[in-house]
Amino acid sequence: MHQTAGGIVYRIEAARPLVLLIRDRYGSWTFPKGHVEAEESLQEAALREIEEETGIRGVVEESLGDLFYTFTVEQGKIEEKQVHYFLVRATGGTPRPQPGETEAVAWFAIDEAQQLLQREGYPNYADLWRRARARLSVLAGHFPS
């Protein structure tokens, strides 16, 4: 099984959370993720992949759980993937796509992110997004308007 790690990255602006999304090379809006190097922890891999794919640095705040899915590789062989996702607070950097990996990187308000993910995202990410959105809603309560 392929092990990968990624994050739902957020920042607070004008007392409201914004979420970082990428448009992947397949044209879908999603969250940054990637492979885990042999010497890395899952959290280290998530932060490295986020910075490589988006230009944004961050800190892991908590686990959001794992996604499991299958995909087809060479000659129709089916592979399994486990993606470990974390809630990540952005600490710096400038959004920029990684050539060959991401077509676009942008910050979105939660409702805008919801619409993009429903319209142009991956359906199997719906539960992960619900968990993240619930956590971001709690966080938003800690930042008065």
Position 138 pLDDT exceeds 60:
yes
| Contact call for residues 26 and 115 (beta carbons, < 8 A) | no
> What's residue 116's pLDDT?
95
Distance from C-alpha of 67 to C-alpha of 106, rounded to nearest angstrom: 23
> Which has the closest alpha carbon to 69: 127, 27, 109, 24?
127
* Domains of the chain in sequence order: 2-108 (3.90.79.10)
Q: Percentage of the chain with pLDDT > 90?
A: 74
Burial of 15 (0-12, 13-18, 19+ CB in 10 A): exposed
Residue with tokens 């796509």: 97
> What confidence tens digit (pLDDT) does each residue in 8-61 have?
999 999 888 999 999 999 999 999 999 999 999 999 999 999 999 999 999 999
Q: What is the mean pLDDT of residues 104-128?
A: 93
Tell me the H-state helices in 10-56.
Answer: 42-54
> What's residue 75's pLDDT?
85
- Report which residue type is found at 109: A
Distance from C-alpha of 4 to C-alpha of 16, rounded to nearest angstrom: 29
